[in-house]
Every structure is written in structure tokens, then in C-alpha cells.
Structure 1
Amino acid sequence: MQGHNFDGSPMPIVPTSTAMECAGGLYSTADDLLRWMNWHVDNKPSAADAELRLLNHAAFLYRDGLASVMGLDDGGPMDAMGLGWVIMLPNEHRPLILQKSGGLQGMFLYVAIAPTRGVGAFFVMNEFNAAGFMAGVKTTNDLVAEIAPR
């Protein structure tokens, strides 16, 4: 998705540094995003995809016991890190949720997926506002938990 100016005209594409590529170096349409989310929530993957999906959804570093976490722009609470995912472990009625946020040039995106429940949700903002972003993250996570409780 490309950002737009207030008058609706597209913003010029600005070169992305390698430090930003994981969050802002990809350009996608809403259809691309939905297709990607569908792959993650597919509850009947092919045998080849099952192993890849397991690796994609695994937690590799747990926050428990770490003194601090720095250098992340995580939107929601973090219990663990996966391959590019911020992970919230199941708690009470909330299922396991994989989160990803990113943005570039005023466009910000947040994705929350509950892969074991077959549910995903996202929102996009075209003007960054810290309080609005955090409210969107909470609303998205709450929606996933409501639709797919444990």
C-alpha cells in the first residue's frame, strides 16, 4: 500500500534503508494481505505447508526472564518472539495471537492472527497517531479474542 497526501495524491516513493525493510520495504494490496493471512490460518494445510507453518508460528525467544526488550516497535503486549512475529501467549479467554506491525510514509498496518483458531484481523491507518494506533491494536486483539476464544 502506498501512502497518500491529504489531497489524495500518492506520496512519492522514498527509498527504504535496509534497517527498515522488515517493516516498510514491502508494498502490498489488501488482496495480498488477505491471501497471506489466509495461508497462516489455514487449518488443513498440505503436508509440505504444515512444517513451514509450524516453523513460522513457533516462539523462538520468550520474554520471561529477560531484563528488558529494546529496538522493537511492537504494537501489542509481547510474551515471545517468533520469525518476525510478536507473540501473545494464550491467557484466560484469549487464544495465542501472532502480531505484526509495519509502516512507511504515513501508512501504518497492524495484523493479529490466531492461527490455531483460524482467525485473523488487521487495520490500516493513513496518518500516524500514537494513541490511535494503540487503540487500534487493542481493538484488533480484543476482536480476535472475541471471535475465537479459547
Structure 2
Amino acid sequence: MKVICTNCGTDFDSGNKNKFECPHCGQFYNLKEKPDTYDVKMLNGVLVEKISFNELKNGLKTGKYLKYDYISGGSLPWIKIINSDFEDFVPDSAAVKGGNGASKSWIVLFVFSFIVNIVLLFFLYLQKVKIDDLISG
């Protein structure tokens, strides 16, 4: 799993181990230790500091924090939430699934735009005929 060292900012692969150290600066990390507060670095660059376990859990459930945001705290490196112990609290996608109505609407839109294009081509043909008549005579 990819992690980012909180000390030097080097990103490296921890190899899915619970205890490892940064290959650049030697900072030791233990993923088994659970800190009291967490820091969250969102994808837009905002850093939210010192939030509790319950605040982070509720933020994940409500969508305030995304599964691709990074968390750190105590002896934890910066790690994606989806790769941490919080992955169980990440809700499934809330995206609306396309139903039967959505599959029919694109066909109606396609047919409508096709008819409009045919009408416009007909008007272009009429303009060409008028121009040819003016030029020829």
C-alpha cells in the first residue's frame, strides 16, 4: 500500500506491513497504534486537524470526507482512507443507477437531433439552389 511519510514527504510502498520505516529519513511507523485524534488532508488541499474517531466516522458516512482523502495522526503516515481501518465506514456509491427511463430518453434525443439535422441540410440545399439560380441567370 502506498503511504506518504509525515516527516519528509516521501511516498513509498509499505508492502502491506503493520510496522515499517521510511526508506528516506528512517521514520518508524506502526499501523497497529490508534491515535486519539486524526488529521485529514482532502483532495482539494484543505487540511483538517485534530478530529476524533467519531467525527471522522460521521464525516465519512455523510460524505464530508471521501475515500480517497488522506489521514494521518500519531504514529501514522499519510495514508488513503480506503486503505486504512476506516474503509468499513465508507458508504457504497450514492450515484443514481440508470433505469428504464434513462435508456429510452437518449433514443428520443437522438431521433430528435437526427430530424433537426435533416431539416437543416434541406435548408442548405435550398440556399445552394437559390445561389446557383442567381449566378446562372
TM range (shorter): under 0.3
| Structure (1/2) with the larger helix percentage | 2
TM-score between both structures, scaled by the size of structure 1? 0.20
* Structure with bigger RCO (C-alpha 8 Å, 6+ apart): 1
Structure of higher CA gyration radius: 2
